[in-house]
Amino acid sequence: MNLSPLVFPCRLKMEEPSSSDKTADADRVLKALAEYGYPDIDISLPLLRRLPEELRKNRFSVTLVIGRQGDGLKVLDIGREKIFGLAIDIGSTNIECSIFDLVSGTKLDETGMENPQVIFGNDVLTRVQRSMTGDFGLLTNALLDGLSELIAKICGGNNVSSEDIFAVTIAGNTIMSHFFLGLEVNNIPISPYIPAVSSAVFTSGRETGLAVNGNALVYVFPNAGSYVGGDIISGLISSGVYNEEEPVLFIDVGTNVEITLGCRDWIMVGAGAAGPALEGGVAGIGKKAEAGTISRVRIDSRTGEIQMDVISGEEPKGICGSGLIDLISEMYSADIIDRSGRFVSSGDNIIEKDGVKAYLLHRSGQEELYLTEAEIKNFLLSKAAMFSFLYVFVRAVGLTFRDIKKVFVAGALGCGINPESAINIGMLPDMPRERFIPVGNSSLKGAEMVLLNRDLLCDVENMTRKITYREMNEDAELMNILQGAMFIPHTEPEMLKG
C-alpha cells in the first residue's frame, strides 16, 4: 500500500543561524520544507509563537506534523512524534470507528456503538422533524457526545492520547453529516430537497468539538444529493466503481436503499425507502448483527426442522437482515407461505399470537421468537421497493441486468447475505452468482483509505463531478413495477433475469 496519509510527520534538520546566515526561524523552516517538496505551507500564529523555542531546544532539528487542507498543506503541530488518525462511519443506526498509527499505517483497532440519536427516532426523517420543532441542538449534541464517547473508548483501549489524534475522516449520509457539522437540515426532506452543502468539508477538531487535538484535520466526505451522502461516495471509493470499464451496480442497504450505476466515464445515483426490513424495522424480532443474533436459517422442507446459525453461538435473541432474508426464502421454498406471504400450511411452528398467525422460530422457556403474517407482508413491501428501484434504475439508462457484470453489495445487505436466498424471493435479480461481490461496511473502508492516502481526495473530487443524481421517489414507472414485486419472487419472473 502506498502510505500517504492525510496527516504525516516531516523531520527537518537545518543549519543553525550564524553571523553569515540570519534567516528568520519561520523562513528557515519554510525553505527546508520547500527543499523537501512541500512549498507554500501555512504555519499558524500559535505555532509561530512556539517555533523559536522548539528549534533551539533541539539545535534546529525538529519534527513537524503536516496535514492536507483543501488543495494545500499546513503545519498542525511541532515536536510531536506520535500521530494517529480515526476513520468514522456515522450511520443512522450505528456508528463505526477505526484507529490508525499514521506513521506506520497500522490499523490498531475498530469499534462501534449505536447512534445515540435513535432516542429521537429510528429513521433520519423523524429526527429531522424533531429538529424542525426546536430540538436541533439536542440532536447535534447527542451525536457529538456519542462520538466523544466512542473516541475515548477506542483511544483508551489502545493507550493513545486523544491529543495525538491529528486526522479524522467522516463518512455519513447527508443528514448525518449535516448534524455532525451543525448545519441546517430542515430543507433536505422538502422539495426541491436542498442540502446546506454538497462539497467536501475540511475543518478542525476545535471547530467540530470532537474530543481530539484541536488542530486535527477533520475531513467530511461530500454528498451527491439529499439522500445519497458521503457514505455512498466513500463506498464508491473503496469498491473502485469509478475505475470500472463497464457499467456495474453498487447497492447499499441500511435504513434506506441507495443505488449507484456507472463506470469510469459516468455515474448515476439514487435512493429510496426500502431498507428497514434489514435493520429490524419491520419485524419485532429484528436485531442488528451482534452476539445472539440469528444470521442464517435453513428449514427442512420434508420434516419442517429448523436449523439456525447464531452469532457467537449464544441463545438466540433476534434475527438480522441476512437471517430474515433466509427465513422468508426458506418458508416459501418449504411451502409454509405462498407467493403473497400468507401461511398455507399448519404444524407445530404455526402458532397464533394475539389473534393472528405467526411462525415460531425459537422458544426458550417463556421467551419466543416469531414472525407474524403482517411482518412478512411488510418485509415483502421492502423487498419489492428495493427490486423496483434496481429495475427502474437500470432501465433508465437503456440497460438490462444482463449488461451488468458486477454487483457490489454493501451495508446490511452486504454483511453475510446469502445471494441465493435474496434471488429466490426476488429481492435481487437472477444473475450469475459470481457477479455479486459483498463489500461489507464500504463506507468505513473508504474513510480508512482516504485517511491513509491523501491522493484519493482528487479521486473523490473527480468522481463527484461525474455523478448524476436521480430522484427515485418521483419516478412514475416505479409504482407499476412495485405491484408485481410484492409477490414472491415476482408476478413477471422474466423481469428478474440477468
Do 106 and 205 lie in a common domain?
Answer: yes
pLDDT at 65 over 80: yes
Q: What is the pLDDT of residue 287?
A: 77
Q: What is the mean pLDDT of residues 148-173?
A: 96
Do 151 and 120 lie in a common domain?
Answer: yes
pLDDT at 200 over 90: yes
- Residue 365's contacts (CB-CB under 8 Å, 6 or more residues apart) are none
- What percent of the chain is predicted at pLDDT more than 90? 64
Q: What is the mean pLDDT of residues 367-381?
A: 90
Provide the whole-model pTM.
0.89
Q: Does residue 289 lie in a domain region?
A: yes
Do 405 and 268 lie in a common domain?
Answer: yes
Do 129 and 259 lie in a common domain?
Answer: no
Grid coordinates representing 203 are: 475543518
Measure the CA–CA gap between 280 and 286, rounded to whole angstroms.
4
Q: Dihedral of CA 392/396/397/399: which sign?
A: positive
Cell match 440477468: residue? 498
Do 61 and 186 lie in a common domain?
Answer: no
Can you give the three-state secondary structure of the chain, one letter per residue? CCCECCEEEEEEECCCCECCECCCHHHHHHHHHHHCCCCCCEECHHHHHHHHHHHHHCCCEEEEEEEEECCEEEEEEECCCCCEEEEEEECCCEEEEEEEECCCCEEEEEEEEECHHHHHCCCHHHHHHHHHHHHHHHHHHHHHHHHHHHHHHHHHCCCCCHHHEEEEEEEECHHHHHHHHCCCCCCCCCCCCCCCCCCCEEEEHHHHCCCCCCCCEEEECCCCECCECHHHHHHHHHHCHHHCCCCEEEEEECCCEEEEEECCCCEEEEEECCCHHHCCCCCCCECCCCCCEEEEEEECCCCCCEEEEEHHHCCCCEECHHHHHHHHHHHHHCCCECCCCCECCCCCCEEEECCEEEEEEEEECCEEEEEEHHHHHHHHHHHHHHHHHHHHHHHHCCCCHHHCCCEEEEEHHHCCCCHHHHHHCCCCCECCHHHEEEEECHHHHHHHHHHHECCHHHHHHHHHHHEEEEEHHHCCCHHHHHHHHCCCCCCCHHHHEC
Do 251 and 387 lie in a common domain?
Answer: yes
Q: What is the pLDDT of residue 336?
A: 93
Cell match 483501549: residue? 157
Measure the CA–CA gap between 426 and 419, rounded to whole angstroms.
10
Q: What is the pLDDT of residue 313?
A: 81
Q: What is the mean pLDDT of residues 381-409?
A: 90
The band of 228, judged by pLDDT with boundaries at 50, 70 and 90, is confident
Q: Does residue 226 lie in a domain region?
A: no
- Of the chain, the end-to-end C-alpha distance in Å amounts to 36
> By the 8 A CB rule, do 102 and 141 touch?
no
Task: Return the number of other C-beta atoms located less than 10 Å from residue 458's C-beta.
Answer: 10
Q: What is the mean pLDDT of residues 223-246?
A: 90
Do 210 and 110 lie in a common domain?
Answer: yes
The CATH number of residue 55's host domain is 3.10.20.880
Q: Dihedral of CA 119/125/127/130: which sign?
A: negative
Q: Which conformational region is residue 426 in: left (phi greater than 0), alpha (psi within -120 to 50 degrees), or beta? A: left
Do 92 and 70 lie in a common domain?
Answer: no
Do 408 and 268 lie in a common domain?
Answer: yes
pLDDT at 118 over 70: yes
Q: Does residue 123 lie in a domain region?
A: yes
Most confident of 110-124, 136-150, 337-351: 136-150
Q: What is the pLDDT of residue 329?
A: 96
Do 401 and 258 lie in a common domain?
Answer: yes
Q: What is the pLDDT of residues 299-330, one digit of tens each?
A: 998 888 999 999 888 889 888 888 899 999 99
Phi, psi dihedrals of residue 7, rounded to the nearest 5°: -125, 135
The CATH number of residue 482's host domain is 3.30.420
Distances (CA, A) of 150 to 30, 117, 163: 37, 14, 15
Q: Does residue 228 lie in a domain region?
A: no
Distances (CA, A) of 167 to 40, 83, 183, 442: 21, 8, 21, 19
- Least confident among 107-111, 271-275, 327-331: 271-275
Residue 180: closest CA among 201, 163, 194, 149: 201
Domain's final residue, options 377, 392, 411: 377
The band of 1, judged by pLDDT with boundaries at 50, 70 and 90, is low
Q: What is the pLDDT of residue 199?
A: 93
pLDDT at 382 over 70: yes
Instruction: Indicate the number of domains in the chain.
Output: 4
Q: Does residue 475 lie in a domain region?
A: yes
Q: Dihedral of CA 164/168/409/92: which sign?
A: positive
Phi, psi dihedrals of residue 332, rounded to the nearest 5°: -70, -45
- Least confident among 182-191, 207-216, 265-274: 265-274
Q: Does residue 30 lie in a domain region?
A: yes
- Residue 419's contacts (CB-CB under 8 Å, 6 or more residues apart) are 409, 428, 433, 436
Do 134 and 22 lie in a common domain?
Answer: no
Do 182 and 327 lie in a common domain?
Answer: no
Q: Does residue 360 lie in a domain region?
A: yes
Q: Does residue 225 lie in a domain region?
A: no
> By the 8 A CB rule, do 253 and 413 touch?
yes
pLDDT at 177 over 70: yes
Measure the CA–CA gap between 400 and 392, rounded to whole angstroms.
10
Domain range for 466 is 246-276+378-440+454-496
What's the one-letter identity of residue 243? N
Domain's final residue, options 205, 220, 235: 220
Q: What is the pLDDT of residue 268?
A: 93
Grid coordinates representing 431 are: 444473475
- Least confident among 435-444, 454-463, 473-482: 473-482
Q: Of residues 69 and 96, which shows the higher confidence score?
A: 96
Domain's final residue, options 78, 102, 127: 78
Grid coordinates representing 90 are: 456515522
